[in-house]
Amino acid sequence: MKIISWNVNSVRARINNILNYIKDENPDILLLQEIKTQDQTFPYDSFKEIGYFSYVFGQKSYNGVAIISKNKINKISKEFIKDNLNQSRIITGEIFLQNKNITLINIYVPNGNPVNTEKYDYKKEWLKKFINNIKKKLKQNSNLIIAGDFNIIPEELDVFDFKRYEDDALGRLEIRKKYRELLNLGFEDIYRFKNKKKCEYTFWDYFAGSWQKNYGMRIDHFLISKNLLEHFFSIKINKKPRSKPKPSDHTPIELVLN
DNA sequence: ATGGCTGAGCTACTCAGA
């Protein structure tokens, strides 16, 4: 089973890139973040034509997440946490892998910049609630996959120049500790688990030639419950979509389980 | 380099992103 996570920075502006990518990679499930559109303007038909169901938690202009899947997904929910600002940042569902029932959690964590503002407080509060609800969920189901745009640089090697981000909402110790707290509930950051020292990124700014200079950061992650490790086959950051015309500033991360 | 690019909403220019 191939599950992919991608912050597309507008599903409508990116629809041709996304459809071409699906044809190349043939995912079973595609988790999208930053769709930047409401449910009623989501391009359901484009995905339906190539054989995918769409489950959408949209929002006008900003944020928004969706699950695109070849098979129907059970128990879709948009209420994993109560969002203080009513922003559309989480959609969950349940899938089966062999005999296991897995809860799939697709997230778009608040950016939180600038620090020392209500935006940063919102990010901290959001992560706190998220971690609490993961703890609760683990009591019902110990098979979880959390994927998406975390807006967290886990370690120094996950960004081209850590000094520039150590007091940023993506790199602050206080935020990285939240990530560590989440992992300590029984997850592996599966990319880092399989690539102990590798420097690969999932995001590059649009400006200042960041892509060409490889001034990027690894902020999109797949966290899987440790008891799902026996199903692990591969994890890959696919840089190809970032090199295409009119790219998203993020590139997809691809997980294969069997 | 706390914004040099991009997208949405809208149709001039702001907000947001990381």
- Interval A164-195: pLDDT, tens: 999 999 999 999 999 999 999 999 999 999 99
Per CA to C1' distance, which residue is closest to B3? A207
Per residue in A96-124, pLDDT (tens digit) is 999 999 999 999 999 999 999 999 999 99
The bases of strand B with some atom under 7 A from any protein CB are: 1-9, 16-18
pTM of the model: 0.97
Q: Say how far A115 CA is from B3 C1', in Å.
A: 16
Q: Say how far A8 CA is from B6 C1', in Å.
A: 12
Q: Please give the pLDDT value at position A173.
A: 97
| Residues near chain B strand, CB within 7 A | A 7, 9-10, 12-13, 34, 36-38, 41, 60-63, 110-111, 113-115, 119, 149, 151, 164, 167-170, 203, 205-208, 217, 219, 246, 249-250
The answer, yes or no, to whether residue A80 has pLDDT greater than 90, is yes
Q: What is the dihedral sign for C-alpha A51, A57, A58, A64? A: negative
Q: Say how far A126 CA is from B4 C1', in Å.
A: 31
Q: Say how far A57 CA is from B10 C1', in Å.
A: 24
The domain that contains A216 carries what CATH number?
Answer: 3.60.10.10
Q: Say how far A128 CA is from B2 C1', in Å.
A: 26
The whole domain housing A225 covers 2-257
Nearest CA to A111 out of A184, A237, A7, A200 is that of A7
Per residue in A119-148, pLDDT (tens digit) is 999 999 999 999 999 999 999 999 999 999
Q: Say how far A6 CA is from B1 C1', in Å.
A: 27
Q: Say how far A13 CA is from B12 C1', in Å.
A: 21
The model's confidence at residue A75, banded by pLDDT at 50, 70 and 90, is very high
Q: Considering its fold, how many domains does chain A have in total?
A: 1
The model's confidence at residue A35, banded by pLDDT at 50, 70 and 90, is very high
The answer, yes or no, to whether residue A208 has pLDDT greater than 90, is no
Q: How much is the mean pLDDT over chain A? A: 97
Q: Which nucleotide is nearest to A249 (CA to C1')?
A: B6
